[in-house]
Homo-oligomer: A and B are copies of this chain.
């Protein structure tokens, strides 16, 4: 939620000479996307987002992300469309950062999703999975199950500063998931970070997805497990089965959700909760003093993890096979 790299009007004018988008009428840094610097650009031809990729997005991954957005847009999944430069390139360098110009997407992020929002999300997520099926790009999940232990190592020594016993809870869960993490579920392209910030609505209509910079190949049901964690708990960390039911039911109508996937859901939800617990714990312990972004409390995801650990089967999510 910040602008890390400054772009002056003069820098912008030079950058825009590489594109056929008209000249700048307005240019404002926006508080969107935790990882990158984003600017809203209005030109004589339309509205765009200029993104400068900061350290967490590797330049080597950009062709995958941008081509995926292009592919999805061609397959009727509403998302920002990367704008090609006059030379055909989808990204170039600006002020020492890789930078891309993408189309502006109408819509507003909701903070407290309702059943209607969850239903719309479920259907659109399945459309995303189906629409991405023909995409040829491949990217390993850099924050997948096999990476969690390595991630934890960087925070382990100080985990108990955040909450007494946290280190041992995580250690036990990592060991458990090592033995029971599924490997037999259908895979494909997942968004990987579908929190409400990354989904736009106009009223109750879902108008599009943004921020594909965690997209990768992984189990499709894991994407839904991320959404259950991100959309179906309230601010007091209470789970709302009616929202989960609406989401999964809408998903299944577009892409049938197998019994195997349903049975694995509690496990996938534990994994997804652990993944965000680990990245938030890392950010919490490692953010520099004076950081532009206030880190989010990792303990929200400890509570969600503990809920999933207590679940006996899909029925506890309000679901049935």
Whether B108 lies near A24 (C-beta < 8 A) is yes
Look across to chain B and name the residue whose beta carbon is closest to the beta carbon of A3.
Answer: B31
> Of the candidates B12, B25, B27, B31, which one forms a contact with A29 in the assembled complex, judged by CB atoms under 8 Å apart?
B31
Whether A25 lies near B112 (C-beta < 8 A) is no
- Identify which of A58-66, A250-258, A285-293, A305-313 touches chain B: A285-293
Is residue A111 contacting chain B, with contact meaning CB distance below 8 A? Answer: yes
CB distance from A235 to the nearest CB of B (A): 11
> Of the candidates B40, B110, B200, which one forms a contact with A40 in the assembled complex, judged by CB atoms under 8 Å apart?
B40
Whether A9 lies near B111 (C-beta < 8 A) is yes
Is residue A203 contacting chain B, with contact meaning CB distance below 8 A? Answer: yes
Q: How far is the CA of A273 from the CA of B28 in the complex (A)?
A: 28
Whether A110 lies near B26 (C-beta < 8 A) is no
Interface residues of A in 1-59 (CB under 8 A from B): 1-3, 8-10, 12, 23-32, 40, 42
Whether B106 lies near A42 (C-beta < 8 A) is yes
Can you pick out 28 interface pairs between chain A and chain B where the beta carbons lie within 8 Å of each other? Answer: A1-B3, A1-B29, A2-B31, A9-B108, A9-B109, A9-B110, A9-B111, A9-B201, A10-B110, A12-B108, A24-B202, A25-B107, A25-B108, A25-B202, A26-B107, A26-B108, A27-B108, A28-B31, A28-B32, A29-B31, A29-B32, A30-B30, A30-B40, A40-B40, A289-B290, A290-B290, A290-B291, A290-B294
CB distance from A113 to the nearest CB of B (A): 10
Q: Which residues of B have CB within 8 Å of A40?
A: 28, 30, 40
User: Which interface residue of A8, A28, A109, A203 has the most chain B CB atoms within 10 A?
Assistant: A28
Look across to chain B and name the residue whose beta carbon is closest to the beta carbon of A30.
Answer: B28
Whether B27 lies near A30 (C-beta < 8 A) is no
Q: Which residues of B have CB within 8 Å of A10?
A: 110-112
CB distance from A164 to the nearest CB of B (A): 24
Q: How far is the CA of A57 from the CA of B23 in the complex (A)?
A: 34
Q: Which 10 A-B pairs have the closest CB atoms?
A: A29-B31, A8-B111, A9-B108, A25-B106, A28-B30, A289-B289, A27-B108, A3-B31, A9-B110, A26-B106
Interface residues of A in 168-201 (CB under 8 A from B): 200-201
Interface residues of A in 80-109 (CB under 8 A from B): 104, 106-109
Q: How far is the CA of A12 from the CA of B289 in the complex (A)?
A: 32
